[in-house]
A and B are shown apart, each in its own frame.
Chain A
Amino acid sequence: MTALVDKPPATMEHLPLRHARLPRWAPILVVVVSFAASGLVGLLLGWGPVAIVVLALLLYLGALPLWSRAVENRRSANDRFVTGLVWVALGIAFVPLVSLLWTVIGEGLPVLDAKFFTWSMRNIVGEKGGIYHAIIGTLLITGAAAVISVPIGLLSAIYLVEYGGKSRLASSIRFLVDVMTGIPSIVAGLFAYALFVLFYGPGVHIGLGGAVALSLLMIPIVVRSAEEMLKLVPADLREAAYALGVPKWRTIIKVVLPTAMAGIITGITLAIARVIGETAPLLIIAGSTDSTNFNLFKDQMMTLPVFIYYSYTQPGNTPEIARPMAWGAALVLILIVLVLNLLARVLGRLFAPKQGH
C-alpha cells in the first residue's frame, strides 16, 4: 500500500498530451505522389485517364492513413482515412455537375444572341431562328402551374398543421400526398390529357393542360415543404396571439404565415425549379409549335424542354443548325432555374424573421 502511495504510476505523473504530428503539407504531398505514381503506371500499361485517377485516389486513401499510423496514432490514421473518403465523395459528386455545366455552357453559349431570344421559329427553314416562343411557353405554363399549385398546396399544408393534426383525415391526406410525390410525370401528362379530352375532344393540345399536369407534380412538393415550415413555428407564438384575443384564422395569417414565409417561398421556388424542366407531360398535352402562342387556353404551346427534345431528336435537314440551338435552349433553361433560385434567396432573406440588431 505505502509503496503505491509513494510511487504513483508513471502515467499519472505525465499524461502524454503531445505526440508526433504529420506536417501540414503531408496530404498535398501524398496527393501529388499518388497521382505521379498512378500516372507512371497508367502510361506504362496504356490506361485511360479514368483508370489513372481511380488508382491515384485509391493510392491516396491507402498511403496517407498508413503514413499517419506510422508517425501519429491510430485515431489520427482513421481520421485521415475518413477525411479522405469525404473529399473523394465530394469530388465524385462534383464530376457530373461540373461536366454538365461545362458541356452546356461550351455548346450553348455561342448560340446566344439577340435574335435567339427575340425570334420564334415561325417560317424559318434552313437557318438559325430563336426560342422566344419556347421561353414564353415555359414561363406561361410554369407560371400557371404555380398559380394553381401554390394556393392548393399552401392551404393543404395549413390544414394539415393547424387544423388536421393527428386526425385520420390529416394522416390519409399526408399519405396520399406522399404517394403523389411518386407519380411519374408521364402519368401526370396522360391524366391532364384525359381530363381535357373530356372538354375539347380527342387530339387536344392546350397550354393550360400542361399547367395542370405540372401542378400535379408540384402540389405534393409545395404541401410537404410548407408543412415542414409551418411546423417549425413555435407554439408559443400561436398562444401569445390567442392570449391577445386574436382569432385562430387571423393568427395563422398574421403571425404563423409571416414567421414561416421565408421557408415557404424557398420551398415554392424549389418546386417550380423541379417542374420547369419536365418534358414528358408537355409533349403529350401542350404539344409543339413554331409560333409564339400567348394563349394558355387555346392551341399548341412550345416550351423549352419540348423544344430541346425536338431540336435534338428531329433536327430535320439541318442538324448543324438545330442541334446547337437545342444546347442554347438548355443553357437558357438552366439560367432560368438559376435566376429562380437566386430570387428565392433574396425573397427568403427579405421575409426572414428579423433577429438581433
Chain B
Amino acid sequence: MATSIDISDLDIYYGDFLAVEGVSMSVPARSVTALIGPSGCGKSTFLRSLNRLHEVIPGARVEGKVMVDGQSLYDAAVDPVEVRRLIGMVFQRPNPFPTMSIYENVLAGLRLNNSRLKKADADDVVERSLTHANLWGEVQDRLGKPGMSLSGGQQQRLCIARAIAVEPQVLLMDEPCSALDPISTSAIEDLIHQLKSEYTIVIVTHNMQQAARVSEDTAFFNIAGAGKPGKLIEMNTTKKIFSVPDEPATEAYISGRFG
C-alpha cells in the first residue's frame, strides 16, 4: 500500500521565478520524512509539487523528475487528478467544506468522485477514517452537525480523516499543527505515529522538536537570500540531523544560529 518517492533535479517555478532549485532526494515508504527550514525556503512549494497541486497556481510549473513507484508524476500521459487520488494532502489551516456535515466531509473525497456507496459501506468508511484520525469518540453522536462547528484541532483531524478516507498511498502534511494548541498537536503527532505503518508521510514543520519527535528522516532546506531559489541542503536520518549533521549550515539552523 505504501510507496516510496524518488525526486531528481527538481526545479520549481512560479512564472519566471525559480522558487526551488535542484532538489534530489528519496522519500522511503512507510516512514515519516520531515521537511524543515526557514520561512520562504520552498518547503511547502516542494511539498505541493509532490501531488501536482503546485501547478494549480497560474504560471506555476516544474522541471525535473518525481518518480512514484517507478512512474514519473510529470509524464505527459499522467492525469494530475489521478495523482492526487494517490497522494493525499493535509493543509496548514483546517479547511473542512463549509456546506457539508462532519459525515459528508469525511466522505467528500469519495462522493465528489462520484463513486456510489451503499449506506452501510459509507458508515463504515466514516467510522474507520474518524477512528484512524482519533476523532470518532468526540463526534460519533453528532455526525450530522456542520464540519465548521468543531474546534480548530478537531477540524484539522477531520481534514486528516477526509484525506485518509480515499485511501491514498502517500500523505503530505503542510504544517498541520501550526494553527493548533499543544494538546491538539500532540493528538495529531500520535496520529502520525499510527499512520506511518500504512502510509508514506511527508510533513513540513517549523517546529524542530516536532520533526525530531515524529520523523525517521529529515530534509533541511535553506535559502541564500531574498529572491534566490531555495535549495535542499541536507537529507539524513533525523537522529543524525539533530546530533551530528554533515553540513555546517544545518547545524547552525538546528542550534538556532542562522547564516
- Asked if A pairs with B, the answer is yes
* Chain A interfacial positions (CB closer than 8 Å to B): 165-166, 234, 236-247, 250-251, 254-255, 258-259, 261, 353-357
B114 within 8 Å of A (CB atoms): yes
Closest to A246 in B: B112
B126 within 8 Å of A (CB atoms): no
Partner of A243, one of B53, B145, B148, B149: B53
* Chain B interfacial positions (CB closer than 8 Å to A): 51, 53, 56, 58, 81-86, 88-89, 91, 93, 95, 97-99, 101, 108-109, 111-114, 145-146, 148-149, 159, 162-163, 166
Instruction: Assess the B148–A241 pair: CB atoms within 8 A.
Output: no
Partner of A245, one of B84, B99, B101, B145: B84
Partner of B88, one of A244, A247, A250: A244
Q: B113: which A residues are within 8 A, CB to CB? A: 244-246, 250
Q: From residue A59, how far is it (CB to closest CB) to chain B in Å?
A: 52
Closest to A241 in B: B112
- With A250-B114, A356-B148 known as contacts, the answer to whether A234 contacts B162 (CB < 8 A) is no
- With A165-B58, A237-B97, A354-B98 known as contacts, the answer to whether A245 contacts B159 (CB < 8 A) is no
Pick 27 A–B contacts, CB within 8 A, sort by A.
A237-B97, A239-B95, A240-B95, A240-B97, A240-B159, A242-B53, A242-B56, A243-B51, A243-B53, A243-B88, A243-B89, A244-B84, A244-B88, A244-B109, A244-B166, A245-B85, A245-B109, A245-B113, A245-B166, A246-B84, A354-B101, A354-B149, A355-B98, A355-B146, A356-B146, A356-B148, A357-B145
Q: From residue A209, how far is it (CB to closest CB) to chain B in Å?
A: 39
Instruction: Assess the B166–A237 pair: CB atoms within 8 A.
Output: no
Q: A247: which B residues are within 8 A, CB to CB? A: 81
Most central of A165, A239, A244, A250 by chain B CB within 10 Å: A244
- With A165-B58, A244-B108, A356-B149 known as contacts, the answer to whether A239 contacts B91 (CB < 8 A) is yes
Q: From residue A136, how far is it (CB to closest CB) to chain B in Å?
A: 36
Partner of B99, one of A166, A234, A242, A259: A259
Report the bound CA distance from A259 to B51 in whole Å: 25
Instruction: Assess the B148–A236 pair: CB atoms within 8 A.
Output: no
Instruction: Assess the B95–A245 pair: CB atoms within 8 A.
Output: no
